Structure 1
């Protein structure tokens, strides 16, 4: 069983510099180097992400072993969450895929935990509990994007919804989770909070480069869905419950050209 951990990054190299080396050290078993891969997609990041990830001596062994796979997609002027995530997942080669936001620490044992869950329930979807308000505070705030499932089931669902309804910060991860449950996939919540630690930062960091028209409105949306009030969450769930279960019908997902570290391909 191979696990693919997929990360997208635009303007968040300062977070990835803290999380990626730790996540690699906590997740890679050099006796089984083919059991896990880290796919990092540089979504036209305007910072030094590409230079750092391709030259840092701490990361070099993972790049050379093919455990860390780095690709860049040029020409994006703003961060489109669903499109970027679909691009990264399309590059994955594992049996199971897991989204890992750039500011997330995996925690030692997380990959083993995923392997144990999927060994028992290959059609499960592993996710953070959106109703646990403790996960929207302090060192856990920002962990709601952690979602894992089989690559086949991800494709069955059509990936993340790239339609206009998910412009800016919009809960595309919660939508994917709801659609998976509606497709009768069994949800498994991540109970160990040590797997859900994040780099603490402001909500402005979450929206500053997204394709949003009103940053203040997006920040208000983040705050309204923080688990402290049920009405906004229930309204969101009801709204998604009547939406199509399969996203992006008739349109390619994660479309675009990427430049791999060392080679080029179209996603």
Structure 2
């Protein structure tokens, strides 16, 4: 008997990135509709660029369950771990996949489903190799770390129960840098197998590190933040602190324009 389809939740966040989301979200919604038993969870992290009004054009997708829309209305600055956690905590699928606002799902859904059908308890790290870096083979590309500047490093999928057991992304990290690697390192230390898969084609809209830090509310550049977060992550791993966010307080949000809830 074939393995049943397992629902996948693609978890997206946006803080004043409508200029990118207007390209990625329509295509990503089409992909999950075509695949079936999939959803996109989109967090509006208090954007002030008209995102809330723009999303209303997808009310049909909200009504059908293809799109879950989470609006955080109080935080003045973007914090990647906090925003990503809201998206993942609002998800209803068996598997959760982080997908930044500048990322395209592309043709990955069948391949990822096949991997999870073969090994249900698996973390998949998707990436797109830097087109300017010569690779001898696809196998070599899969072994190399992706270029952090190509916009696809944080494409991480794992069972939702595993994500929750890890406490999600570490909200004590500084706003943006290394949070994805920290999650993968803690998952690996927790015993979760990891497989890396390249994504062909146009996987993301390329960003600068300056753009990544633009709404963080801090003056440090991305490289300095990355080093500080790496130090915290390494210390936690050394001490065996694999579960993040003990004592975290729920966050009030508006779900699908109508439901006040906490995540």
Pairwise TM-score range, normalised by the shorter structure = 0.7 to 0.9
CA shift, 1:70, in A, is 1.0
Query: What SS class does the counterpart of residue 244 from structure 2 fall into?
Result: coil
Query: Given the alignment, which residue of 203, 217, 224 partners 1:197?
Result: 203
CA shift, 1:135, in A, is 3.6
Instruction: Report the counterpart of residue 47 of structure 1 in structure 2.
Output: 49
Mean Cα displacement is larger for which, 73-82 or 242-251?
242-251
CA shift, 1:197, in A, is 1.4
Contact 2:166 2:187 in 1 (8 A): yes
CA shift, 1:156, in A, is 0.8
Instruction: Report the counterpart of residue 39 of structure 2 in structure 1.
Output: 37
CA shift, 1:205, in A, is 1.1
Mean Cα displacement is larger for which, 120-129 or 171-180?
120-129
The 1:133/1:124 distance shift into structure 2, 3 A limit, reads closer
CA RMSD of aligned residues (A): 2.5
CA shift, 1:65, in A, is 1.2
Correspondence list, 1:85-100, <5 A? 85-100=84-99
Instruction: Report the counterpart of residue 173 of structure 1 in structure 2.
Output: 180
Contact 1:40 1:69 in 2 (8 A): yes
Instruction: Report the counterpart of residue 135 of structure 2 in structure 1.
Output: none
TM-score by length of 1: 0.82
CA shift, 1:201, in A, is 3.0
Contact 1:167 1:212 in 2 (8 A): no
Correspondence list, 1:13-28, <5 A? 13-28=18-33
Task: Mark the runs of 5 or more structure 1 residues left unpaired by the alignment.
Answer: 225-232
Instruction: Report the counterpart of residue 130 of structure 2 in structure 1.
Output: none
Contact 1:204 1:219 in 2 (8 A): no
Instruction: Report the counterpart of residue 257 of structure 1 in structure 2.
Output: 252
TM-score by length of 2: 0.83
Q: How many residues of Structure 1 are paired with residues of Structure 2 in the alignment?
A: 241
Correspondence list, 1:19-168, <5 A? 19-29=24-34, 32=36, 35-55=37-57, 59-108=58-107, 110-128=108-126, 132=144, 135-136=147-148, 141-163=150-172, 166-168=173-175
Instruction: Report the counterpart of residue 207 of structure 1 in structure 2.
Output: 213
CA shift, 1:157, in A, is 0.7
CA shift, 1:181, in A, is 0.4
Query: Given the alignment, which residue of 192, 212, 216 partners 1:185?
Result: 192
Instruction: Write out per-residue CA displacement over residues 116-137 of structure 1, whole angstroms, 9 at most, x where no aligned residue.
Output: 1111111111114697355445
How far apart in 2 are the matches of 1:250 and 1:86? 14
How far apart in 1 are the matches of 2:50 and 2:225? 30
CA shift, 1:64, in A, is 2.7
CA shift, 1:219, in A, is 4.6
